[in-house]
Structures are given as C-alpha cells and as structure tokens.
Amino acid sequence: MKKQEILAIIKAGNFNKIKFAVADIDGVLRGKYIHKDKFFNAVDNGLGFCDVIFGWDCADKCYENSEITGWHTGYPDAKAEIAMETFRQIPWEENTPFFLGDFSNDPKYADAVCSRTLLKRIARQSEEMGFKPIFSQEFEWFNFQGTPSEIAASNYTDLQPITPGMFGYSILRSSLNHAFFNDLFELLQQFDIPLEGMHTETGPGVIEATVIYDDILAAADKALLFKSAVKEIAYRHNFVATFMAKWNKNLPGCGGHIHQSLWDLDKKQNLFFNSESDTKMSQTMQYYIAGLLKCLPEILPMFAPNPNSYKRLCGGDWAPRTLTWGIDNRTCAVRAIPGSEKSTRIELRVPGSDTNAYLALGASLAAGLYGIKNKLPLEIAPTTGNGYLETGKGVLPDSLEKATKKMAESEIANELFGEAFVKHFTLTREWECQQSDKNDSQWELKRYFEII
C-alpha cells in the first residue's frame, strides 16, 4: 500500500490515536499511543523517543556500562522514523492503526544500537551483491493458565499449562482450546502476520507456528510482532504465553528456527537451487552454509542472547550445539532442505524463540554472505546420523559469558556488523550475565517468563 493510501485511510478512519513501537536490543517492543495529528507531523519529521530504550535491560534496569546513553547523557530523545510499510490495524483493539519504526536517520543511534537499522544495512549489502534474501522464522512457545499477576504472585511455581502431557502434533489437544487456536490463526491473519501452519508441539501447553516467508525485513517485522501479538491474544483467553528458550530443565526448549534462501533481485530464481546437482544444492548455497558454520561461534549471542538460552543448547531435545550440517537432518545446526526450485532453503536451528528477530535474521544473512564473499569451501561433511554426538566438528560456546567474550574479541563480528554495534551489544550481554542471581532459583523465570 502506498504512503498516500495509508494516510487517506487514517484520515478517514473513526479513531483519534495511532499505536507506534520500536524494538530495543532484546527485541522487546517499546511503544506508545499518539494522537493522529501528531502522527501526521511525525510521518515527515520523525518522532521523539526517549533513548532510555537503548540504555536499559529487559527489566527496565539502567545499564551501568553503556556508553551510548545513560545518566551521563541525561537520556535525551532519539529521532524515531515511522516505517510506513509496516502499517496494519490491530483487530483486537478496534482496528487501531499500528506502525513500527527505527532510528535509521539518527546517526548517533543508527549504527550502534538500532537493530532494525542494522538489518536494513545487511539486507542492502545482500542486494548490492545481487541477492534478494527471503526469510521466515518459526516459533515454539509454552502457554499457561492465569494472568500475569496470578503467575507472579505464585512465584512462578505450580504453573498450569493449558494442556497436560506430551502431545506433539495432537489434533486432540488443539481442540481442547479451539477458541484460542482459532483466534491465533484468524487474528494474526487480520494483523498481516499470516501463518503457514500451526500445531501442538512436544510438551505440555506447547504450540509451534511458522510465519509465511517474506523479504527479510518484512519477515523480521512480522517475527517481532508475532511474539507480541501472541501474548496479547493469550491475555484475552486468560492465558500467559512464554517464549523463554528453556523455562523448565525437564522439558524441551523453545526454538526460533530461521528458514532462508537467496533469490535473484526479481525474485524469479532461487539461487540456492541447482537442477543439475545430485543434491539440488547450488554452489552459492554451499558457500552460504560454510559461512554460517564459520561465523556461528563468533556471533552466537545474536542467536542465543540470554543466560537461559544456553540451557536449551545442551545437545539434544531438538536443539544443536555442534557445528554440523546435514540434508534434512534436524539434529544439525544447519539443516539443508533441497527440493524444488521454490522450496530449496536452509533452516538454521540454533536460535531459540527468545531472540531479537532483527539481530537473529540479520546475523544469519551476514554469516551466509560472508561465506559467499570469501568463497568458503564446505569442507565439513554432511551429517547423516545424530549430529548431537558429532562434537569433533566443533562445539558452540556453552554459556553467554563465553560466547560474549568470543564475540567481543572477534574480527569477523566487527567485519559483519561494525565495531560500534559489536561494542554496545556485547556490553549489554555482559550486563545480562551479571544479572543472574545464584541465591534465587527462580530468577530466570522472574526475568524472562513474560517479557522476552
């Protein structure tokens, strides 16, 4: 929809407010309602937004190690831009107009802290190389009975999933909460986040859904909005949804797998597909996989951003920790899915559902492009058995502390994302490590259960 068409809809609509949001470094959407007169002015002139959103963590505690903003700067306004292409209306809020934004036109924040701007930059580099990146993220998440207040009052004990038992792909269990399933599918469609599929997953109260693929920036927008929308729709049913990577050590974790392919700029040819190859994999696809495997250990915090993330990456339960790839092998870090020209793609299985989609999708694309630029040979043989056991090919860092230290010192990370971003982001991950409370066994649930 063109800009003037969007403005006409809002002018003619029977509403006085607009909802607007930007993503912080954790992928949490921070937003506000604004009068539509202010919106019309902001379309051309931008919108002031307190830069504290880049100076605090997911619990609103101000960083003490941030240089870009803090008490020492007085937390001034940053200049947010409204991304007109993200326009949609919220069906569960009387069709209130909604927009995402970023800080791409504010030089202080664009390169160092704005994750959406970083993704735009990487996507632009891809197109300059002749590649149109087509992506989608799929999510697994747990759902619990009760309100946020009730769950917090229980100190996150005796949590009651919306369904009992380990019922993956269960038609029976999805019927138990048919109204919730129906609202998720239909309301997300109306909110311009169409789902390719949705089903119960292994674990009590677990659902998995895949958002239909799109250009990478639109796919990341939809991924962030998907998580927020699911939580809001869950509230309507007296449920709470959590996207924690591993809320319970005895249950499977929650993946945020990233499907990806590169097409020509007209989106007519899948450049990962080669009809003449025995595997149907092009040389470009092989370079891309080699880039992912090379870069993964250097940039892991962008795929596993919290201490809790590493409880999922334990080598089993559908979450990889080895530097492996295989053809249609779900035990590997990289699952190659060669098929038809339309469907040939890669699934990166390392990310959890607790990611910032702008960072996770951007990091995946940047790593793949690194492989193409440097024509990295795919020297690691494909895994045909259990990839969790193939530790000889390399193993990912097993804690956020180790992964952050490696990224902070990485020449590859600085090349892919720029020194300003790497410095700020790794400082925030160091801070995140420091927030652990060894005297409180529930600290991860209190911190990540609802917000992340």
**10-residue mean pLDDT series, the chain (452 residues):** 94 94 98 96 96 97 95 96 98 97 96 96 98 98 98 96 94 94 98 97 97 98 98 98 97 97 98 95 98 98 98 89 97 96 97 98 98 96 95 96 98 98 98 95 97 96
Q: Name every residue whose Cβ is closer than 8 Å to that of residue 277 and which is 6 or more positions away in sequence.
A: none
Q: 């911190």: which residue's tokens? A: 447
Structure tokens at 304: 């596993």
Domains of the chain, CATH where assigned: 3-108 (3.10.20.70), 127-448 (3.30.590.10)
* The pLDDT of residue 317: 80
Burial class (CB in 10 A: 0-12, 13-18, 19+), 190: middle
Q: Is pTM beyond 0.85 here?
A: yes
* The pLDDT of residue 316: 78
User: Is the distance from CB of 257 to CB of 265 less than 8 angstroms?
Assistant: no
Distance (Å, rounded) from C-alpha 311 to C-alpha 191? 33
The residue among 361, 371, 204, 358 whose CA lies nearest residue 284 is 371
Give the DSSP letter string of 328-363: T-TTSSEEEE--STTT-EEEE---BTTS-HHHHHHH
Distance (Å, rounded) from C-alpha 246 to C-alpha 448? 10
- Angle, helices 283-295 vs 357-373, to 10°: value is 120
Distance (Å, rounded) from C-alpha 37 to C-alpha 208? 40
- Angle, helices 115-128 vs 216-236, to 10°: value is 150
Helices and strands counted in the chain (H then E): 15, 14
- What's the first-to-final CA gap in the chain, in angstroms? 31
* The pLDDT of residue 314: 86
